[in-house]
Amino acid sequence: MVVGKPIFTVEQIQQRVRELAEMISKDYEGKNLLAVGILRGAFMFLSDLVRAIKVPLTVDFVIAASYMKEATTGEVKVYYDVREDVNDKDVLLIEDIVDTGITLNHIRERMLQKRPRSLKICAFLDKKERRVVDVPLDYTGFEIPNEFVVGYGLDYDNRYRNLPYIAVFRKSV
Ligand code: 5GP
């Protein structure tokens, strides 16, 4: 198993997170922002992002996992859902990576049923070419090709999450 060289370095990530936080701070001025991190993968991105956002906010989480049956059907299981009442909140879902879009679409629909005041999505990485379900992304860190990546919260078998950068991961050389 091989972890390649960083495709996004610590500095590149920090720079992009600052840019995203600036856009979000501007867009959520005077609003009631609730940042909802999708665990486990988004924990690192969320913690960097919320520290750089300059408007008042609250934080909650969703814990979800998806299981692929076939290439285009995934079953999403939610283990923990937001505890905050979202009716008066401007919810920003924060996701680590969007691949087929199945996981995020499921969580988005579930959140919409709770009738938040508004709902937007911020994804750190976007594997656009892999998309099966069209899910609207309002803020994106980086677009990446169809490679399996680890680091900055993203895992292989729950490992490599602590790498401070993003690298391509291959099972064999
Ligand atoms: P989707 O439902 O969009 O197909 O899958 C999203 C989830 O699959 C992500 O939240 C993440 O857990 C996992 N995933 C997709 N691509 C990658 C990748 O390149 N690396 C890692 N570590 N996880 C990925």
Query: How many other C-beta atoms lie within 10 A of the C-beta of residue 54?
Result: 12
pTM of the entire predicted model: 0.95
Question: Mean of the pLDDT values across residues 10-21?
Answer: 98
Tokens of 69: 């049956």
Return the ligand 1 atom nearest residue 102 CA. Answer: 2
Distance 155 CA to ligand 1 centre (A): 9
Would the pLDDT of 71 be above 60? no
> Based on the structure, what is the number of domains in the chain?
1
**Residue 171 confidence (pLDDT):** 84
- The answer to whether residue 69 scores a pLDDT higher than 80 is no
**Domain holding 91: CATH number?**
3.40.50.2020
127 occurs within a structural domain: yes
- Compute the distance between CA of residue 124 and CA of residue 108 in angstroms, rounded to an integer: 16
The Cα–Cα gap between 71 and 100 comes to 9
Q: Which residues participate in catalysis according to the annotation?
A: 99
Over range 95-118, report the average pLDDT: 96
Task: Indicate the pairing of strand 118-126 with strand 90-98.
Answer: parallel
How far CA 30 is from CA of 2, 60, 90, 91, in Å, comes to 46, 20, 10, 14
149 CB under 6 A from ligand 1? yes
Residue nearest to atom 11 of ligand 1 (CA): 97
Q: Which domain holds residue 37?
A: 10-147
For residue 124, being part of any structural domain is answered with: yes
Residue 50, number of CB atoms within 10 A of its CB: 18
The per-residue pLDDT for range 83-104, each reduced to its tens digit, is: 989 999 999 999 999 999 999 9
Query: Is 89 contained in some domain?
Result: yes
The closest-lying atom of ligand 1 relative to the alpha carbon of residue 130 is: 4
Please report whether residue 161 resides in a domain. no
Q: For residue 173, is it within any domain?
A: no
133 lines ligand 1 (CB under 6 A): no
Is the Cβ atom of 150 under 6 angstroms away from ligand 1? yes
Most ligand 1 atoms within 8 A of CB, residue of 45, 62, 67, 97 to mutate: 97
For residue 42, being part of any structural domain is answered with: yes
Residue with tokens 């919810």: 91
pLDDT at residue number 162: 98
* Amino acid making up residue 22: E
Residue 164 near residue 11 (C-beta atoms within 8 A):
no
Q: Which mutation among 67, 154, 158, 161 tests ligand 1's pocket best, with the greatest number of atoms within 8 A of CB?
A: 154
> Mean pLDDT across the stretch 32-36?
98
Residue 91 counted as domain residue: yes
